DNA sequence: GAAAAAGATTGAATGAGTTCAATTTTTAAG
DNA sequence: CTTAAAAATTGAACTCATTCAATCTTTTTC
């Protein structure tokens, strides 16, 4: 039976999440009032706070769904990466970037990032940070894979390199969402340029 | 005469900034109410908002002063850096990190970072972002200096490398302030480890 | 199936940041 | 010196996020 209470809970949770993410897209994060979200979800304001600790939490929940998808898509690239270091990085990173604005606006990203920095203890911020770590691990895994294949010189700390590449792409993405007119194309070009020296240097001679 | 009005304005501005930054240090950002700041500065709440757009602005202003100092101290290191790439980076970066918690708490850093991401258009956030860029330029300048000296191989894009190193140290610092128990020593060790592969690879053979 | 216990919902009250029309102070003009 | 214009200050009022005691619903117990 799954229990009436459990079903109602799951349903309310879904309604609240849907109401919030659609409102955020429609009117922006700041203009979306809890009262409006609650009304659209057909619950009271108090109930909203029973499901989410605060307004920021529900935005981070929305963003998390998006990152989860990107991670999934990244898996297959890591399993079967292009032959060269430069290309492999470019394909994986551009995949991240290209998905980033499908469901979320720059404003939503900015707010989610701000929250995850400011309240690092809240459960949803932890989840967001965890996703970041998994992205970082994915880049590191790609580097290790390439090293195993002999494309990257042995003796290099592939994990350290992967972390650096990730931190760089993450900072660049932060700057990108802070700059409303900045384009995805420019972002991808800049990051590719930054990765080039490193990619060349760590590649094994053939 | 400089004008009575201009003098009063400068004086009030100083009083507000001082009142705010001392209160933030004493009771934390969240617990410091605008009313309290205004009272300590001997102005009204309305006047506060005449000088700063919002509560966050004044925190970012405080943090900016701190970064300004670090930049100044970094200058002399860039002018006369240690002989090796690894050492030079380590000295400059550790100088940044060691100064970071002298006047500011992790909470203050978190809040300032969050604000500068969320409201990138506000004048003080622009100033903060500008300081970040100057730090990035300082790292890049160090790399160029080392390249001129022949310590870094010619043909390498020193600026691109510098940007990557900066973005990495900046992200690592962000993670550091998000993690209350994390120590400065651990931060410095981790970043040094991440820089090692790159430093080795770009160093000119002797 | 009735009663008690546990779990959820509710919305009015609270509190802090922000706004703005009225007032005061300073400067400029005659 | 007087008066008009410009610039700043002021604090009461307003907006929202958040809280919590009262109430209602579901589950468990006997």
Packing angle between helix B34-41 and helix B4-27, nearest 10 degrees?
130
> Which value, in Å, is the radius of gyration of the alpha carbons in chain A?
20
B43 and B67 assigned to the same domain: no
Which of the two residues, B49 and A5, has the higher pLDDT score?
Answer: B49
Cβ neighbours for B202, distance < 8 A, ≥ 6 positions apart: A197, A201, B85, B152, B153, B156, B161
- Best interface-test mutation with B: which of A118, A129, A173 has the largest number of B CBs within 10 A? A118
B110 and B152 assigned to the same domain: yes
Strand C, nucleotides < 7 Å from a protein CB: these are 7-12, 16-21, 26-27
Please give the tally of structural domains in chain B.
Answer: 2
Distance CA B187, CA B81 (A): 22
Query: Which domain CATH number covers A101?
Result: 1.10.357.10
Query: Which domain CATH number covers B3?
Result: 1.10.10.60
pLDDT value for B2: 65
Helices (H), chain A: 4-27, 34-41, 45-51, 55-79, 85-99, 106-118, 123-148, 158-178, 184-202
A120 and A195 assigned to the same domain: yes
pLDDT value for B17: 96
Distance CA B114, CA A60 (A): 14
The reply to whether residue A117 touches residue B113, judged by beta carbons under 8 angstroms, is yes
Q: For residue A172, list chain B residues with Cβ-Cβ distance below 8 A.
A: 167
pLDDT value for A205: 87
Q: Using pLDDT thresholds of 50, 70 and 90, give the confidence band for residue A191.
A: very high
B147 touches A at CB < 8 Å: no
A100 and A139 assigned to the same domain: yes
A137 and A68 assigned to the same domain: yes
What is the pLDDT averaged over residues A74-93?
97
pLDDT in tens, B7-51: 999 999 999 999 999 999 999 999 999 999 999 999 999 999 999
Q: Are A83 and A72 in contact (CB under 8 A)?
A: no
Domain span at A98: 55-202
What is the pLDDT averaged over residues A34-53?
97
Distance CA A31, CA A37 (A): 11
A126 and A165 assigned to the same domain: yes
Q: Mean pLDDT of all residues in chain A?
A: 94
The reply to whether residue A120 touches residue B179, judged by beta carbons under 8 angstroms, is yes
A65 and A147 assigned to the same domain: yes
Residue B3 beta carbon within 7 A of nucleic strand C: yes
Residue with tokens 């900016």: B64
B104 and B12 assigned to the same domain: no
Q: What are phi and psi of B2, to 5 degrees?
A: 70, -10
User: In the structure, how far is the CA atom of residue A5 from the C1' atom of nucleotide C3, in angstroms?
Assistant: 20
pLDDT in tens, A127-147: 899 999 999 999 999 999 999
Q: Are B144 and B138 in contact (CB under 8 A)?
A: no
| CA-CA-CA-CA dihedral for A170, A191, B163, B166, to nearest 10 | 10
pLDDT in tens, B51-60: 999 999 999 9
pLDDT value for B85: 97
B106 and B21 assigned to the same domain: no
Q: Which of A2-11, A153-162, B157-166 bottoms out in mean pLDDT, i.e. has the lowest?
A: A2-11
pLDDT value for A122: 82
Distance CA A102, CA A95 (A): 12
pLDDT value for A1: 53
Chain A to chain B Cβ contacts (< 8 Å): 98
Spans of chain B below 50 pLDDT: none
A97 and A43 assigned to the same domain: no
Q: Is the pLDDT of residue A96 over 90?
A: yes
Handedness of CA B105, B111, B114, B120 (dihedral sign): negative
Residue with tokens 């022949």: B150
B61 and B22 assigned to the same domain: no
Tokens of A40: 């659209």
Residue B51 beta carbon within 7 A of nucleic strand C: no
Q: Could you tell me the pTM of the whole model?
A: 0.91
Longest distance between any two alpha carbons in chain A, whole Å? 66
User: In the structure, how far is the CA atom of residue B177 from the C1' atom of nucleotide D17, in angstroms?
Assistant: 26
Which of the two residues, A166 and A123, has the higher pLDDT score?
Answer: A166
Tokens of B191: 């970043």
Q: Are B191 and B93 in contact (CB under 8 A)?
A: yes
Minimal-distance CA residue of chain A relative to B126 = A178
- Best interface-test mutation with A: which of B180, B191, B197 has the largest number of A CBs within 10 A? B197
DSSP state of A152: B
Write down which residue in A51, A77, A92 finishes a domain.
A51
Handedness of CA B91, B92, B93, B95 (dihedral sign): positive
A131 and A185 assigned to the same domain: yes
Q: Using pLDDT thresholds of 50, 70 and 90, give the confidence band for residue A204.
A: confident
DSSP state of A203: B
């Amino acid at each position: 039976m799954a229990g009436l209470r459990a079903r109602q809970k799951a349903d309310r949770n879904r309604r609240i999440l849907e109401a919030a993410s659609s409102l955020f897209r429609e009117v922006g994060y700041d203009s979306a009032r809890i009262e409006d979200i609650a009304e659209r979800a057909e619950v009271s304001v108090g109930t909203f706070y029973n499901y989410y600790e605060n307004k920021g939490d529900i935005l981070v929940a929305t963003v998390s769904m998006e990152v989860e998808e990107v991670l999934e898509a990244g898996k297959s690239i890591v399993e079967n990466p292009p032959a060269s270091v430069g290309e492999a990085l470019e394909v994986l990173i551009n995949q991240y970037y290209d998905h980033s604005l499908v469901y979320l606006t720059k404003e939503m990203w900015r707010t989610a990032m701000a929250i995850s920095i400011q309240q690092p203890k809240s459960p949803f911020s932890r989840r967001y940070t965890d996703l970041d770590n998994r992205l970082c691990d994915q880049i590191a895994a790609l580097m290790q894979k390439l090293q195993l294949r002999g494309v990257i010189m042995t003796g290099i700390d592939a994990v350290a390199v992967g972390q650096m590449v990730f931190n760089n792409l993450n900072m660049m993405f932060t700057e990108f969402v802070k700059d409303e007119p900045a384009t995805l194309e420019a972002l991808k070009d800049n990051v590719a340029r930054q990765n080039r020296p490193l990619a060349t240097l760590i590649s094994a001679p053939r």
